[in-house]
Amino acid sequence: MSNTEPVPIDTLGRPLRDLRISVTDRCNFRCPYCMPAEIYGEHYTFMPKPQILTFHEITRLAGIFVGLGTEKIRVTGGEPLLRADLPKLISMLAQLPTRDLALTTNGNLLPRYAGFLADAGLRRVTVSLDTLNEQVFREMNGGRHGVAATLEGIDTAERVGLVPIKINCVVVRGVNHHTIVDLARRFRGTGHTVRFIEYMDVGNLNEWKLDQVVSAQEIIESIGSVFPLEPLQPNYHGEVARRFRYADGRGEIGVVSSVSKPFCGACTRARLSTDGHLITCLFASGGVDLRTPLRDGASDDDLRSLIVGVWHDRRDRYSEDRAGLVTGDGSPHPNHKVEMYQIGG
């Protein structure tokens, strides 16, 4: 298949347009909904270096995806800024002909690295920030860090031109749902977009329950009661966040409704795990190994055919099926899923 041939389409008619690359399974936070501290403690053994894709391997695979029509690349983790020499990888990926090269981070290390990332060719960042409340912030990251460094990271990213900045807030009932208006207020008028995300049953360890979910509608009503909102059209087909502008023109917010209003039908994302597995859904139970054939001498054509075959067979629609998978107590059925820190959300 060459660049002039059609983009791969899956069984539900969804094209392959986006690639998320997890560059490390390590993180300096211990957010309960992703990497709970009681499991990922000081003695937890993360992936050994030989199992992790090298920068050249990542770039080679990313180039094949781009040749298949992938337009957007996002670098994730774990916390991607823990990967040594990450700006070098960014400079390599920046040579690929994509529309967008972005990075998702908890922001804690952005004050140190934002300038290097911008110089390397990174275009923008998304920063995870669940609350401005110091006590709640520490509760939601396992007590590892305070909110000041993340806010400084956002300011630094803006200063070096990694814009527009998106800020992701996972909303959990009884934990941070009461602070979302303050977060909206803090970034209203700054040009940054806060995206409020329904708490999802990602991975196997966060003890997710349906009654912890604050629905997109409730989020919109809470913020709209203070700052009136008006709906906006999507920026592009497959955009996961529903957009709303402030009625007074001072920016916008987004709401990601994977639980209450799933959007699987427009999902165009593939994920490359830290150890080189191609994963076709955030809620997948596993993926297809690309690292082994790559290291065994597979040609680009071989790898391309493998990727196309996986995508052509893709039929994932977990969020749309979730209603039938939740048990009587509101928890999901115990189907094993890949952990979020391995595939970057």
Domain with 61 in it:
18-342
pLDDT at 111: 98
> Do the domain assignments include residue 179?
yes
| Residue 75 is assigned to a structural domain of this protein | yes
Q: Is residue 231 part of a domain?
A: yes
- Amino acid letter for position 68: L
Does a structural domain hold residue 3?
no
Lowest mean pLDDT among 38-47, 219-228, 264-273: 38-47
Q: How confident is the model at residue 2 (pLDDT cuts 50, 70, 90)?
A: very low
Residues composing the chain: 345
Which of 39-43, 183-187, 229-233, 329-333 comes out lowest in average pLDDT? 329-333
- 285-324 burial by CB neighbour count: b if 16+ within 10 A, else e? eebeebbeebeeeeeeeebbebbbebbeebebbbbbebee
Q: Binning pLDDT at 50, 70 and 90, where does residue 1 land? A: very low
Q: Is residue 105 part of a domain?
A: yes
The answer as to whether 10 is a domain residue is no
- Give the total number of structural domains in the chain: 1
Taking only the tens place, the pLDDT of each residue in 308-344 is 999 999 998 877 776 555 555 566 555 665 665 667 6
Residue 13: inside a domain: no
β-pair partners for 196: 169, 255
Q: Closest by alpha carbon to 279, among 333, 342, 200?
A: 342
Question: 153-177 burial string, b = 16+ CB within 10 Å, else e?
Answer: bbebbbebebeebbbbbbbbeebbb
Q: Is 102 among the domain residues?
A: yes
Q: Which CATH number covers residue 160?
A: 3.20.20.70
Q: Whole-prediction pTM value?
A: 0.91
| Chain centroid, CA 223 distance in Å | 23
Helical spans, DSSP H, in 42-144: 55-67, 86-93, 110-120, 134-140
